[in-house]
């Protein structure tokens, strides 16, 4: 929903209703991830995408019905890969969607959620999408509060507990629970959509390669910070794509930043007096990716220096150096693409091989994809 929020919010603020279709679960190689959204405005305009092709045509028909009846629906579409393209699921697979009617009366918290997202404040929505007692009830969660109910206190407690764990990691997923919140049951489905602040990309070294990495980092959805001790080079004019440009020694600045497993740290200073002190700190954080630029000779010298200051082999093993995948590029932009490719591969476990050489599914199974068999589509 995040990607279409700015386009649907004006309609909501004007008191106009819209219908929101959201992917809640996927199986196999569905083309769009969990959380992908498409909206039907009261003007008839369609915003966003959940799959492509004829499936979106079918979703549009259901959305028109929901707009008319104001009754939310959960729907499932799926086909084999052999027949996928003909019916609109271009990559095959199965998708489950929740299609809901939204206006100021049915979802009064919508504007507040949009405000949290805009201000980069964590917020989650836990929505009842399957239950014999009805669907559509929701709980709104922030870091310190939870408002709403799914029907009973036991179910609310279980949903809030599960949703908070997902919100902490920015994960969007469907929880399967019993009618009173029991685990390992599937009487109730609760879709938890997490809107966590953008993950951070921290780039040390105000060089031309850093400008290209900042540009692609912003394109990937990161909150980009460029840091260098040299005020002459660390300027907003040189790094217009960065959200922040910090003038400070890297090893003094890094401890001031909140780091988690979504954080990416790129050390591009290419100078041991900068590299080693900041890497000593970075490799002992929970950052999901730590990379350092340099030749193989520079890398070997860096390893010696890190061991000399007491870094363990386990800590050093986290370091991606020389940074990036070997794509054969040389320019700052090409190097930035290779770094971005390594970051993506590190996150999802890519093979780093050409797709033409493989036979496995192109779309990796995500945390929000299902390991259980897909439902039978009748």
Q: 10-14, 48-52, 210-214, 282-286: lowest mean pLDDT where? A: 48-52
User: Measured at the alpha carbon of residue 144, what is the angle toward residues 265 and 170, in degrees to the nearest 5?
Assistant: 35
What does the pLDDT read at residue 378?
44
What does the pLDDT read at residue 374?
53
The CA distance from 193 to 98, in Å, is 12
Pick the residue with more confidence: 365 or 234? 234
Element of type H or E holding 101: strand 93-102
pTM (predicted TM-score) = 0.66
What phi and psi, each to the nearest 5 degrees, are found at residue 59? -65, -35
The CA distance from 306 to 240, in Å, is 33
Q: Would the pLDDT of 169 be above 80?
A: no
Sign for the CA dihedral angle at 242, 246, 251, 256 comes to negative
What does the pLDDT read at residue 31?
65
The three-state secondary structure class of 172 is coil
pLDDT digits (tens, 9 = 90+) for 305-335: 999 999 999 999 999 999 999 999 889 999 9
Q: What is the CA radius of gyration of the chain?
A: 23
Element of type H or E holding 95: strand 93-102
Q: What percent of the chain has pLDDT over 90?
A: 68
Pick the residue with more confidence: 361 or 137? 137
What does the pLDDT read at residue 375?
57
CA of 181: how far to CAs of 40, 139, 185, in Å? Answer: 33, 14, 9
What phi and psi, each to the nearest 5 degrees, are found at residue 44? 100, -10
Q: Would the pLDDT of 29 be above 90?
A: no
For the chain, the structural domain boundaries read 2-195, 200-348
The CA distance from 271 to 10, in Å, is 49
What does the pLDDT read at residue 48?
92
pLDDT digits (tens, 9 = 90+) for 213-270: 999 999 988 999 999 999 999 999 999 999 999 999 999 999 999 898 889 999 998 8
Q: Would the pLDDT of 52 be above 80?
A: no
What does the pLDDT read at residue 351?
80
What does the pLDDT read at residue 360?
67
Query: Exposed, middle or buried: residue 50 (CB in 10 Å: 0-12, 13-18, 19+)?
Result: buried
Nearest to 374 by CA among 93, 85, 184, 101: 93
The CA distance from 18 to 316, in Å, is 51
Question: Domain 200-348 maps to which CATH number in 3.40.50.300, 3.40.50.720, 3.40.50.150, 3.30.565.10?
Answer: 3.40.50.720
Residue with tokens 């003038």: 247
Nearest to 27 by CA among 377, 378, 368: 368
The three-state secondary structure class of 247 is strand
Average confidence score pLDDT of the chain: 88
Q: Would the pLDDT of 192 be above 80?
A: yes
């Amino acid at each position: 929903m995040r990607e279409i929020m700015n386009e649907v919010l004006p309609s909501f603020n004007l008191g106009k209703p819209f219908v929101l279709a959201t992917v809640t679960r996927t199986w196999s190689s569905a083309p769009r991830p969990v959380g992908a959204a498409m909206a039907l405005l009261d003007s008839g305009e369609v915003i966003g995408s959940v799959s492509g092709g004829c499936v979106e045509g079918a979703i549009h028909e259901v959305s028109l019905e929901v707009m008319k009846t104001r009754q939310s629906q959960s729907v499932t579409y799926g086909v084999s890969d052999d027949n996928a393209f003909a019916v609109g699921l271009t990559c095959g697979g199965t998708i489950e969607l929740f299609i809901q009617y939204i206006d100021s009366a049915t979802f009064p918290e919508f504007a507040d959620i949009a405000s949290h997202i805009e201000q980069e404040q964590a917020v989650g929505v836990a929505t009842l999408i399957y239950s014999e007692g009805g669907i559509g009830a929701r709980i709104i969660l922030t870091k310190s509060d939870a408002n709403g109910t799914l029907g009973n206190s036991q179910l609310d407690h279980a949903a809030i507990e599960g949703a908070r764990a997902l919100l902490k990691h920015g994960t969007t997923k469907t929880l399967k629970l019993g009618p009173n919140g029991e685990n390992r049951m599937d009487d109730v489905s609760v879709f938890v959509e997490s809107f966590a602040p953008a993950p951070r990309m921290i780039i040390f070294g105000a060089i031309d390669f850093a400008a290209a990495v900042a540009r692609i980092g912003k394109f990937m959805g990161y909150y980009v910070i460029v840091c260098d001790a040299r005020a002459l080079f660390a300027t907003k004019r040189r790094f217009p794509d960065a959200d922040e440009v910090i003038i400070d020694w890297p090893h003094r600045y890094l401890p001031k930043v909140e780091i988690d497993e979504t954080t990416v740290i790129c050390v591009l200073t290419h100078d041991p007096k900068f590299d080693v002190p900041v890497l000593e700190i970075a490799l002992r954080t929970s950052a999901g990716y730590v990379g350092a630029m340099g030749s193989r000779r520079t890398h070997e010298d860096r390893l010696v220096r890190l061991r000399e200051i007491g870094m363990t082999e386990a800590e050093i093993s986290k370091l991606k150096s020389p940074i990036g995948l070997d794509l054969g590029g040389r320019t700052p932009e090409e190097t930035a693409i290779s770094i971005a490719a390594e970051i993506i591969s590190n996150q999802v476990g890519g093979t780093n091989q050409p797709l033409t050489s493989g036979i496995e599914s192109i779309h990796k199974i995500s945390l929000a994809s299902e390991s259980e068999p897909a439902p039978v589509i009748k």
